[in-house]
Structure formats: structure tokens, C-alpha cells
Amino acid sequence: MKPQNLTGVSEFLLLGLSDDPDLQPLLFGLFLSIYLVTILGNLLIILAVTSDSHLRIPMYIFLSNLSLTDVSFSTTTIPKMLGSLQKHRKSITYAGCLTQLTFFSLFACLESLLLTVMAICHPLHYLVIMNPRFCGLLVLVSFSISLLTSLLHYLVVSQLTFCAEVGIPHFFCELSQLLNLSCSDTFINNILIYFIGAILGGVPLSGIIYSYTRIISSILRVSSSDGKYKAFSTCGSHLSVVCLFYGTGLGVYLSSTVSSSRRKSAVASVMYTVVTPMLNPFIYSLRNKDIKSALWRIIIRKA
């Protein structure tokens, strides 16, 4: 679908995280390093799961799909930001902005739903209640919901008219920031944002919290102190990433329409758009013995 530009605006300006020219090389090096670690970590997980038949079970199928989503999620925003920092050119075309918004909404929603499915499907009993077909169905449903959400966001923005001010105080085309630049009446759009945020953010987060309360209650019944420590350590790591993603994501998504400090909102967005995709491989998989063994087998075969 070709975007309908109702105002003749040909481009927007992504103002980024800072206007200080002395910080630009530091920010470029930092985000380039994070991006490379994110890509490498997640691709290693995908390689391990797809090349080792022992890992083609529901838990690792979910993890590989989460890794693919993380790679796509990071690639939607970071390369454009790196290009702006390197070339000192902050503009993005109208069509490019809508495209970035659409894919960002798609992968952000998919990340949320995959984290939810991984948590609420009783992780302690994956092999009992899950099978590859049901696992694939859940991934397909998550992708379908995410695709519909992203198309809805696209349609909302494509019908807006924009004023002369085209500077976005962000490092990517974020929905709420675009609504703030619009000359149109955005009351209905803001209501839609809060509704989608509550459904696709609040409901999954509630399901995750409920699931982890069940998991923790099961852990407390374990007699071994070492077993309890390892289980709590793993659950604590998972919950920290979940809270980081949902806490900052929902906070930015729901408050940026009324926030007086939009640049702070952009800084907070770094946590769920950049940091979380980098942490997911280390928290969920790369500390896992099965993943490590699969990677060692690949290395030995290649050697």
C-alpha cells in the first residue's frame, strides 16, 4: 500500500538522543558495538537451533523465533541511527518514516507476544503440554496479531496532516511523536494508542506475572537448596529482562503523548529497543548447556 501524503511533507528530521557534536562519535561507537553483539548473539542461537536436531523442541523453537525477532527489531532502528550519526544527516523520507514505523510496530508487538507465550505456557512442563505443531501455531497467531497491529498504526499515521514542524525528538519514527507533530485532531488516535497498549502490553504482562508466581510457588516446593538457587537465579534473570522491556516500553508508549520531556522519552526508548534485544540471547539461551553444546559441535564439525 503506497503511503498517502496529505500535506506535501517530503521528509522528517530525526533529532536523535543528543545535539552535542562531541557526543556523536561516542554514541556511534556505543550503538555500533551493541548492534554487533545483538546480531552475533541472536544469530548464534538461530544457527544452533536450526543445525542441531536435538534442539528442535518447542522451547528452543520459541527461543529461535525470539532471536529472529530481536535481530529484526534492532535492524529496524539502529542502522538508520548509525547512519545519521556518521553522516550527520538526520532526515528521513515520509515513505521511509512510515515504513520504519510499520516494521517497528510489527516486531515490537511480536517481541511482546513471544515473551508472553514463552512465559505462560508452563515453562516447567514444556515437553508435556507442548508439541512442535502447537508451538508453530502460537508463533503464527502471534505474528498475525502483530501484523494487524502494525497495519493499523500505518493507517492511523498515513491519514494525518502535518504542520511545518517536522523535527522528531527521537532516533526513529515513533508513533506518539508523529501524533504530536500532526495538525490533525489526534484525540481518537491517542485513545487507540492507550487501548492497544492496554491490550497488547498490559494483558501479556499480567499473564507473565501470573505465570511466574506459579513457577516460584513450584520452586519453593523443591527440597534442594542448590536447585532453588539455580531456579531463582534463572527466573530472576528472565523477570529482569521482562520488566525492562515492558516497563520502559509501556511507559514510553503510553506517556509520550503527554510527556513534557520528549528527549527523555527517546533516552528511555533505548532500554527496550536496543538493550533488551542484546540481553535476550545471554539471559535465555547462551548460558544454556544445550545451546553451548550445539555450538561446540558446529565448531568441531567446521574445524
User: How many independent structural domains does the chain possess?
Assistant: 1
Could you tell me if residue 1 is inside a domain? no
Which pLDDT belongs to residue 268?
A: 78
**Residue 155 to residue 150: CA distance in whole angstroms:** 9
Could you tell me if residue 298 is inside a domain? no
Expressed as residue numbers, the domain containing 260 is 11-291
Poorest-pLDDT segment among 126-130, 158-162, 212-216, 296-300: 126-130
Could you tell me if residue 4 is inside a domain? no
Contacts of 76 (CB under 8 A, 6+ apart): 100, 103, 104, 107, 172
Q: CB–CB of 238/286 below 8 Å?
A: no
Could you tell me if residue 29 is inside a domain? yes
Average model confidence (pLDDT) across the chain: 81
Residue 143 has pLDDT above 90, yes or no: yes
**Residue 237 to residue 69: CA distance in whole angstroms:** 20
Could you tell me if residue 31 is inside a domain? yes
Which pLDDT belongs to residue 230?
A: 66
Q: In terms of DSSP bridges, do strands 11-14 and 167-168 run parallel, antiparallel, or are they unpaired?
A: parallel
Over residues 18-45, the pLDDT tens digits come to 777 888 889 999 999 999 999 999 999 9
Which pLDDT belongs to residue 33?
A: 95
Query: What is the total residue count of the chain?
Result: 303
Over residues 179-209, the pLDDT tens digits come to 888 887 778 888 887 788 788 878 888 888 8
Q: What is the CATH number of the domain that holds 150?
A: 1.20.1070.10
Could you tell me if residue 301 is inside a domain? no
**Residue 197 to residue 176: CA distance in whole angstroms:** 12
pTM of the model: 0.86
Over residues 46-81, the pLDDT tens digits come to 998 888 877 877 778 888 999 999 999 999 999 999
Could you tell me if residue 149 is inside a domain? yes
| Gap between the terminal Cα atoms of the chain | 48
Over residues 81-140, the pLDDT tens digits come to 998 888 777 889 999 999 999 999 999 999 989 888 887 665 555 556 667 788 888 899
Could you tell me if residue 38 is inside a domain? yes
